[in-house]
A and B are shown apart, each in its own frame.
Chain A
């Protein structure tokens, strides 16, 4: 029941390291927003400022229309799942989950009722009497989640809650978490460096780099049309391919030269005539043939990696490399010639200096 509004939020550490730089972001009521970025991009600092654990040097933070910038965490109506879980070692699972309610001096019977309901949601009922040291990592993570959701907060904050779990558990919990948060229907901010988590969980993803939000949008939008070459290479596995090419020709007949091949270019590249641009294309948007196809880019297969559901090929075009996906029955062989046809509407063009998108298609 709360919209979060970040207005020019800035945080500098030790007077020089700008951890969060003038972030302008609005998270809608009941939205699941993922803050995604490499380590050190400021995503955790930004979340900690929303939680009130860190005080911004500049800007304002509002939750549900109320300016909370100067309020301590306990007056913000938030709950948080810590990366380390921070499950109190001196309290049982029950008391851990009940902690926030006890601080509010809620009646005992009501505390018990709420804790039990939360424990059922995260499948912890058999463990309510145990201590943290007697739990597995996955169970501790559930305690941390239950302790947060039992508060029925306006805003739920999650700081890399899956990063300390092993790969298999992470996959299971990811889906469970998505279901749980969808049922809670509360505004959620989720911090992660894992782009797959970001894509799979978020209603929206805000990609951060060096303290700034580089792009925000739905997972598919961010994946499909990265605003910068950084976003393209950070999101997706494998990352988006980037090929350098020179813009040639005149208005009406613009082409980009890639080795021996000249690719039709959108009119928006006219301003870059005579200069280099970056062509971005994802691995699954390239069609490959082993026989000559007119108008295809001539390449050579370098590496073939069978990945079960598909093959991942590394191909060489001139002096540049790119990755592409093919079906498993594709007759790929190292050193074999290859003809590539990128899907024209999936081409993305970037300025190599600013790394910003110039045009799409």
Chain B
């Protein structure tokens, strides 16, 4: 409103963040793209992209990544919404639940992966528990490359435990932005709890849901540490292929091609969510 009188000050204040973004995001991104379109000798071309697409692991990595996204995101949203509603109900001790729910946010993803490894491994807590209860006679091997279902199950569980709170925080903020009158109007006009959630809360939460979906999907495309910790090489995702090409095959160009591919997928999914869940101005209170 009064920016014309502030002159250069706002831009000067933006400068540090711009510099940060340029140095740590823009430059690496551009150089990664540059690497992806060069071969080992530094010649420009599609050779590295072709090697990535032709890689035996490529299809499996892409498929696993997509399966993880499809499995994790609905579970996380249902959980996050339930948690957010519990917190927003303002019952006694609801504040405590916020901390309990948010606790995994303070744990690094590798540590989370190792924690769940300790649960699912051959002599882990789950097997000890089941044996103790007499439900099984000898340890069941969950984390085996021959049983991808259990590998994916463990990764979905660990990722859900670790990252649901991010969505919850977003949804709680969104819920708190919904005027109480709307919810009370729903009550007065006969909505049951489920009708209230479906017909009033979810539509009004749309902006928060959209942001969380975008954020969560981008993070899921980058899933790495939890997969490595739980499955080792038994399960491969796009980012672990990038790591393998860089670390094992010493080929930064193909690794960069994977990185660029993940970025493209992230952008496409973001655009998809923006298109599927448009937030129209006249529909926001």
Most buried by B among A73, A78, A90, A131: A90
Q: Is A99 an interface residue (CB 8 A)?
A: yes
**Which residue of B190, B281, B285 contacts A100 across the interface (Cβ within 8 Å)?**
B190
Q: Is B99 an interface residue (CB 8 A)?
A: no
CA distance A72 to B195 in the complex (A): 15
Residues from chain B with a CB closer than 8 A to the CB of A78 are 188
Cβ–Cβ contact B191 & A80, under 8 A? no
- Give the contact-size bracket for chain B: 20 to 34
A88-B185 CB under 8 A given contacts A131-B282, A132-B285, A133-B282:
yes
CA distance A82 to B188 in the complex (A): 10
Question: What 1/0 mask marks residues of chain A from 72 to 110 whose CB sits below 8 Å from any chain B CB?
Answer: 111000111010101011110000000110111000000
Cβ–Cβ contact A90 & B190, under 8 A? no
Question: What 1/0 mask marks residues of chain B from 269 to 285 whose CB sits below 8 Å from any chain A CB?
Answer: 00000000000011111
Cβ–Cβ contact A86 & B181, under 8 A? yes
Considering only CB atoms, which chain B residue lies closest to A54 in the complex? Answer: B184
CA distance A132 to B3 in the complex (A): 31
CA distance A132 to B282 in the complex (A): 7
Considering only CB atoms, which chain A residue lies closest to B203 in the complex? Answer: A90
Cβ–Cβ contact A82 & B204, under 8 A? no
| Chain B interface mostly | helix
CA distance A93 to B108 in the complex (A): 48
Considering only CB atoms, which chain A residue lies closest to B196 in the complex? Answer: A103
Most buried by A among B191, B281, B282: B282
Most buried by A among B181, B189, B199, B284: B189
Residues from chain A with a CB closer than 8 A to the CB of B132 are none
CA distance A82 to B186 in the complex (A): 12
* Shortest Cβ distance from residue B122 to the other chain A in the assembled complex, whole angstroms: 51
**Which residue of B188, B195, B200 contacts A88 across the interface (Cβ within 8 Å)?**
B200
Question: What 1/0 mask marks residues of chain A from 37 to 57 whose CB sits below 8 Å from any chain B CB?
Answer: 000000000000001110000
Q: Is A151 an interface residue (CB 8 A)?
A: yes
CA distance A86 to B178 in the complex (A): 11
**Which residue of A99, A131, A133, A134 contacts B189 across the interface (Cβ within 8 Å)?**
A99
Question: What 1/0 mask marks residues of chain B from 186 to 209 whose CB sits below 8 Å from any chain A CB?
Answer: 111111100100011001101000
What is B's interface to A at a CB cutoff of 8 Å? 179, 181-182, 184-192, 195, 199-200, 203-204, 206, 281-285
17 of the cross-chain contacts (CB-CB < 8 Å) are A52-B188, A73-B188, A74-B187, A74-B188, A74-B189, A74-B190, A79-B189, A82-B184, A82-B185, A84-B179, A88-B182, A89-B285, A99-B186, A103-B192, A103-B195, A104-B190, A133-B281
